[in-house]
């Protein structure tokens, strides 16, 4: 799988002619059919015609002409104006790719910022994402335990199968991202003298409570400024009770922590 680009930009001509529009022109060129070309470019037949007619009016000459009958049974063809627009688009696209590659190469020479942007590029539904470095790897015949230092003197522990650990090629000192679903976190305000078996216990201060119709998102600010978000019922918020400024500890099992490492 290719790594996501760190630098990207969409090319758009005249504020309205984008890659999808030129894909439509190219599909008309290839198929000779606006109906088939519209499906290829993701337009409705009517939407494709409206766009082509509008662009043709502004260009002061049609972009598409109909061919009636003939050996191929007729169809649609691009006009010289459309081919000229395509040439402009292809030239600018080549220049855009060259420019972006130059900036990508420059950014790769800034490892700290490149690493940050790669972490930000990950798209996931897990609300809690912590970047850190692997502090310890303890392997076993079936499971492997991994400690991740996330800053602020905090560490997370993840447990996974040893096969998964081997596949990820985990090594002490390498970077990793820990992912935890907000629903996997239990909030505790008073341990009442008890100790818990859960390996991960992150203490912080309640900095935000987002109350919904049924549940609430409770955000803890941890030492060092990181945030941990727990998803709990409104009844639980009221029962504790929780308020901004309260001290609380987010508790979650090591099996609830997923690790992501660069490939």
Residue 261 confidence class, pLDDT cut points 50, 70, 90: confident
Residue 154 confidence class, pLDDT cut points 50, 70, 90: confident
**Whether residue 30 has pLDDT greater than 50:** yes
Mean pLDDT across the chain: 86
Domain positions in the chain are 19-108, 122-260
pLDDT, tens digit (0-9, with 9 covering 90-100), for 46-56: 888 888 888 87
Q: Answer yes or no: same fold for 19-108 and 122-260.
A: no
Per CATH, is 19-108 categorized as 3.30.565.10?
no
Provide the pLDDT for residue 176: 87
Mean pLDDT of 146-163: 90
Ramachandran class of 16: left when φ > 0, alpha when ψ lies in -120 to 50, beta otherwise = alpha
Find all residues with CB under 8 Å of 124, minimum gap 6, and list them.
Answer: 179
pLDDT, tens digit (0-9, with 9 covering 90-100), for 142-151: 999 999 998 7
**Whether residue 3 has pLDDT greater than 70:** no
Provide the pLDDT for residue 114: 65
> Contacts for 190-194 with beta carbons within 8 Å, 24 or more apart?
191/249
Percent of the chain having pLDDT more than 70? 90
**Architecture of the domain made up of 122-260:** Beta Barrel (2.40)
Sequence length of the chain is 263
């Amino acid at each position: 799988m290719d790594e996501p680009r760190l630098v990207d930009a969409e090319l758009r001509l005249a504020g309205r002619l984008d890659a999808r529009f030129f894909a439509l022109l190219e599909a008309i060129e290839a198929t000779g059919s606006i109906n088939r070309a519209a499906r290829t470019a993701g337009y409705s037949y009517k939407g494709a015609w409206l766009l082509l007619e509008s662009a043709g009016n502004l260009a002061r000459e049609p972009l598409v002409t109909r061919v009636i009958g003939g050996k191929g049974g007729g169809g649609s063809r691009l006009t010289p104006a459309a081919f000229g627009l395509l040439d402009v688009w292809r030239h600018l696209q080549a220049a855009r790719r060259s420019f972006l590659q130059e900036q990508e190469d420059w950014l790769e020479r800034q490892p700290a910022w490149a690493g940050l942007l790669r972490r930000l590029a990950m798209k996931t539904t897990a609300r809690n994402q912590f970047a850190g470095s692997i502090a310890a790897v303890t392997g076993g015949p079936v499971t492997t335990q991994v400690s991740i230092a996330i800053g602020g003197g905090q560490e997370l522990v993840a447990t996974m199968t040893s096969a998964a650990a081997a596949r990820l090629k985990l090594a002490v000192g390498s970077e990793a991202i820990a992912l935890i679903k907000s629903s996997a976190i239990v909030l505790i305000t008073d341990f009442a003298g008890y100790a818990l078996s859960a390996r991960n216990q992150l203490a912080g201060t309640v900095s935000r409570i987002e109350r919904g119709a049924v549940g609430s998102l409770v955000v803890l600010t941890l030492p060092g400024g990181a945030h941990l978000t727990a998803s709990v019922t409104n009844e639980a918020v009221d029962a504790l009770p929780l308020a901004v400024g309260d001290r609380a500890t987010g508790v979650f099992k090591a099996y609830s922590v997923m690790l992501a490492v660069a490939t």
